Each structure stands twice: as C-alpha cells, then as structure tokens.
Amino acid sequence: MDNKAIKKLESDLWEAADLLRQGSKLTSQQYCMPVLGLLFLRYAYSRFKKVEEEILKGRPVRNGRVMPVEASDFAEKSALYLPKEAQYSYLVNLPDDIKKANLVNASGQPLNSLGDVVNYAMELVEAQSEQLAGVLPKDYTIFSDDLLDELLRIFNNNALDEVGGDVIGRIYEYFLSKFAPAVASDDGVFFTPKSLVKMIVNILEPTSGVLADIACGSGGMFVQSGDFVNSKGMSANKAMTFYGQEKVEYNAQLCLMNMAVHGLTGVIKSGDDANSFYHDAHNLAGCCDYVMANPPFNVDKVKAKGASDAGRLPFGLPGVNDAGEIGNANYLWISYFYAYLNETGRAGFVMASSATDSNKGKDKDIREKLIKTGHVDVMISVGNNFFYTKSLPCSLWFFDKGKADELKDKVLFIDARNYFTVVDRTLNEWSEWQLKNLNAIVWLYRGEVENYKALLEEYHTVLGDGAFEELLHNQEEKIAALRGEAKVAVESAAKKDKKKVQAGYDEKIAEYEEQLSIAKEAVWLYSKFGDGEYKDVSGLCKIADRAEIEGKGWSLTPGVYVGVAPVEDDGVDFHERMEEIHEELLSLQAESNRLMEIISQNMKEMGI
C-alpha cells in the first residue's frame, strides 16, 4: 500500500468515525479517548497475530495437536499477549444481543452490554502490561451498543491487516491530530504539530541514551525520536530510554497509548508530582543525552519558592513579584532544559517568540549567561499558524553542550517565518522536503557537507539527472501540456463520461504537481548553497559570533541578524507600470459610467 492509499485510508476511517460522533450526543472530549483506545486495541491485535504466526512456526506437536501459544512466548519477543476476550476478532464477532450471550468477566460478574465487554477487554490488556496499567479507556458504556458495534467494524477494515502495525500507528497519530483542535482545552498544549517535532528531532539527531520530555503531552517527541532511531537501522527501545513528565493525567494516558501503538516503552509520570515547575520526577538533572519539549508558553503565577526548592536553575530565578510569584515561566523552562543535559547533551524545544529578546525581570541576564556558555547552537523563527489552536509565531531553540570547538562561540540563526506550506486557511506546516532543506542549512553550519550532498542526490533520484532549474522548467511544461490535453479530452468526451475523464486527468496532474513542488524545493536549496558551501543568506540565515550577539543586546531573535531578503527585480519599470495602471483605471471608470447611463436609460424606458 503506497503513501497515497494510506492517506485515503486515514481519511476514510476518520470520516466514518466522525460521522458516528456527529450522530451521537457525545462531545469530542468524550469521544476522543475511547476511539483512540479502539485504534490501540486494533493495533495490539494486528501485532498479536503477526507475532503469533512467528511463534507457531516450528511449534512442537503433541498427540497430533500444535501446542497452544502462551503469554510467556510473547514476552520473549517483547510483544503484548492478548487473551481471547481481548482480541479484536472476538469483539467484532459477538452476537447482537449481548445479554442473551450470558458473558461474564473473570470474577463471574455479568457483562450486559457491548460497552461492558469492551471495558473488560481493556482490563485484560492492561493486566498484560505494567506500562499500560490504569491507562486504557474503560468508559465504553457511554456508547449505545449499536454505535460501539459500528465503531468496532470501522476499525476492522481489511486494509489494516495488509499494511500492518506501523501504519496503524500512523493512523493513530492522524486521529490524534484531527481531535486536537476540538479536544484541546488548554490551547492545544498536549499536541505538538508533527513538522515542528520532526524539525527538533532531525536537528538533535538522537541515536542512543536518555531522552527526556518534561512537558510530554501526547508523546510526539518520543514517537518521532523512535522513528528516527529505527530509520538508522537500530532498535529505539534498545538504544534509547524515554522519560516523560506530564501534569495532566489525561494527556499522559494519550502519551502511553501513543508510545505503545508505535511499539515504544518508556517511563511517564503524571499528576501533581509531575508538575515540572516544582518536581524533577525522574531525578534526571545533568543526566540526559537529549531533551525535547513543547512546554506551555507564558505561564504565570509560578511560586518562586517552590521552583527554587526544586533546583535545576543554573542561571538563577527569573524575576519575582511582590507576591512571591514568577510572572512568566518561559525562562524557567529554558533553564530546566539546559539543566537536564549531561556534559555532551543536546536540547531542542518550542518557545514563545517573545522569549528570544525578552527583557522582563531577569530574562535578559539569564539569556546572557546562557549565551556565554557557548552552548546555544541554533535558533529558528517559525511563522504563524503552525499550531492547531494558536495563530501566533513561535521559535525553536537548540542547545548543544558537545559543540565542536570552532562553533563554540557561534550561533546559527534561521528565519523561516516565510518558508512553509499552506495546509488550509488556518494551518501551515513544513513539507518533508522543506524540513530537509532547513536541516541542510544546519548540516552546512556544522561542516557536515556529505549529508548535504546526499540530499542533492536524493533530489536527483526523485527528479532525474540534470540542472534543477531545467528540471523545474520541464515539469512546468509537462503540466501545461497535460492541462491542454485534459481540456480537449473532456470537451470531446460524451456527457456521461466528462466527470470521469476529468477525474483521471486531475489525478495525473496532481502527481505532476507533486513533482513540481519537489523541483521547486531543490531549486530553492541549490540556488542558495550550490554544491555544499555554507554562506549567510539575507532574510534566511546567518552565523553570528558572541561579539555580534553582545552588540545586539544579547538578543536571540533570528530576524535581528539575518536581515530582510532583497526584493527580486522583475524587470518592470515602476513609473511606467504605474502610468499603465492609471490609464487602465481611467478606462474602466469610463466604461462603468457608460454602462450606468445605458442602465439608467433602460429603466426610464420601462417606466421605472
């Protein structure tokens, strides 16, 4: 199943499930967790069947019967064992009338509805995994049996058996992202858009060691890090140790389910004892190889004494008001992320744009001390509308305690506010190729030219050989020719076939336009850095040393350093064009007056 088919599957499943929600009296908040729980159960069953098949190969036979599989067999393969009553096939094949089936749980208590049966299935799954204990949703009795039965059948799509567990994990993420705008009760704190997470992971390049996210939400940092490590041919669970803190228990449940769906294990703590302002829940200060986070921005009324007692403040407390409170916690988070790193650790996190040059309280003093460590690595400005429930811009901060000596007193600034793909009217993102291009700037700054050249080769693999500008031009010509061909074909087709013919051409044109977008990104990158030599680009990137940063008042705002991109000369004389526009306007006004006279005359003739 290719990427296009998977996207269609995601969309079809969401549309079907959301249609059922609209027909019920349930809110998105009520609906979200149970639906994700069913997706998790479907994933667990898919993985169970796959591992069971492996176990049964060469299974011993006694008295003519193959020995049945047991929970211990699955433990040996780091897989989740599912008792019969927790297997998805069992649930979807239950009789319509649950009461007449006389089902009972392990304690002999009757299961009188399909909701009771699914709740019991979740209890059985939790009993098999210490990590999932108390995590899975068990409120399925809020659904009518008919609605729950239909949901179970929606996720029993045969295509899921063909594509396997990894894609179910992707579908889980897709559902999580679709729920995010409706469910988020605190400005979407629990969900960080995938392109921001990917950018952080790509720049930090986690390979092995301890990774902490002390504002872990639904666990996107862990999932993307796991994907990154696995893509390098390693096992994320063997190479990495994941630790998370999340004050909101609901979000921590999402995190643990999200990790389990992606085959990851980790230690996640939640509740008041996991409030990162006042607790280092895992005692990880100074121990982490990687720190990633998207903390809530601009939190106020943090108790200064509680934060001070909890430590992790290498640069001191931010400003404290007369009430003994920290009015803005942004620099608490920034200090924490630095404090968790070991002697070679890297950190990457999302932060409010205002923090890059904040002068509130002691913010500037903390920023100056931080810069003087030499460990600030990369700063990226991000444009508007990257979050599902926030329209404001943000910034990405990166620390590296293991920076090469030649980069010790330097910071790479990237202003990416005008570089993105529009998803819809209220949402922007970085495409896969845009993520690679921004990452390529970091590679060149670090002297990793081979990575840059490998990306150019990747472009050529997709687009073909030749100069990128020429490949772009050829693709534009192909699309123009195909549009012309489509117009002729549709006009000459029978009336009943016109829509079908147009749809066929639209699909081809969409494929060509995808290639065109890739060619544009290749031209964007190559036109700036050629075969792999870093240079400052006005309006985009600049490497600044400590002296220059000091001269800018210790600001870490990329726009202060990169300047403004020059406006491209389109070859048109300004005054000449203005005269043409003025003449055109006069002509349009004259035509308007003439039409008004005709209309007025006609109305008189009609006696109006």
Q: What is the reported pLDDT for 565?
A: 75
Q: Looking at residues 228-246, what average pLDDT do you find?
A: 92
Q: Which two tokens stand for residue 313?
A: 């403040």
Q: Looking at residues 40-67, what average pLDDT do you find?
A: 84
Is residue 181 predicted with pLDDT exceeding 80? no
* pLDDT classification of 454: cutoffs 50, 70, 90: very high
Q: Which residue has the higher pLDDT, 575 or 529?
A: 529
Q: Which two tokens stand for residue 206?
A: 């986690």
Are the C-beta atoms of 392 and 329 separated by less than 8 Å? Answer: no
Question: Cα–Cα distance between 214 and 470 in angstroms, integer?
Answer: 48
Question: Cα–Cα distance between 314 and 428 in angstroms, integer?
Answer: 36
Are the C-beta atoms of 192 and 350 separated by less than 8 Å? Answer: yes
Is residue 607 predicted with pLDDT exceeding 70? no
Residue 333: burial class (beta carbons within 10 Å; 0-12, 13-18, 19+): buried
Continuous H helices in 232-329: 236-239, 249-261, 304-310
* pLDDT classification of 596: cutoffs 50, 70, 90: confident
Give the 3-state secondary structure of residue 590.
helix
Q: Looking at residues 388-410, what average pLDDT do you find?
A: 90
User: pLDDT over 70 for what percent of the chain?
Assistant: 91
- The packing angle between helices 498-529 and 449-463, to 10°, is 150
Mean pLDDT is highest, among 128-137, 236-245, 421-430, for 236-245
Q: Looking at residues 597-608, what average pLDDT do you find?
A: 70
Per-residue pLDDT of 274-299, as tens digits, reads 999 999 999 999 999 999 999 999 99
Per-residue pLDDT of 362-377, as tens digits, reads 999 999 999 999 999 9
Q: Which residue has the higher pLDDT, 225 or 360?
A: 225
Q: Looking at residues 66-72, what average pLDDT do you find?
A: 83
* pLDDT classification of 163: cutoffs 50, 70, 90: low
Is residue 332 predicted with pLDDT exceeding 80? yes
Continuous H helices in 57-77: 71-76
Q: What is the reported pLDDT for 582?
A: 67
Mean residue pLDDT of the chain comes to: 89
Which range (112-116, 236-240, 366-370, 570-574) has the least confidence? 570-574
Is residue 3 predicted with pLDDT exceeding 90? no
Q: What is the reported pLDDT for 161?
A: 65
Q: What is the reported pLDDT for 185?
A: 46
Q: What is the reported pLDDT for 480?
A: 94
Q: Looking at residues 440-466, what average pLDDT do you find?
A: 97
Contacting residues for 388 by C-beta, under 8 A, at least 6 apart: 177, 180, 181, 184, 188, 191, 193, 427
Is residue 573 predicted with pLDDT exceeding 70? no
Angle (nearest 5°) at CA 284 between 280 and 288: 135
pTM of the model: 0.83
Q: What is the reported pLDDT for 187?
A: 42
Is residue 595 predicted with pLDDT exceeding 50? yes
Q: What is the reported pLDDT for 39?
A: 87
Is residue 164 predicted with pLDDT exceeding 60? no
Q: What is the reported pLDDT for 344?
A: 97
Q: What is the DSSP letter of 140?
A: G
Mean pLDDT is highest, among 51-55, 163-167, 382-386, 432-436, for 432-436
Q: Which residue has the higher pLDDT, 607 or 218?
A: 218
Angle (nearest 5°) at CA 549 between 307 and 341: 40
Q: What is the reported pLDDT for 186?
A: 44
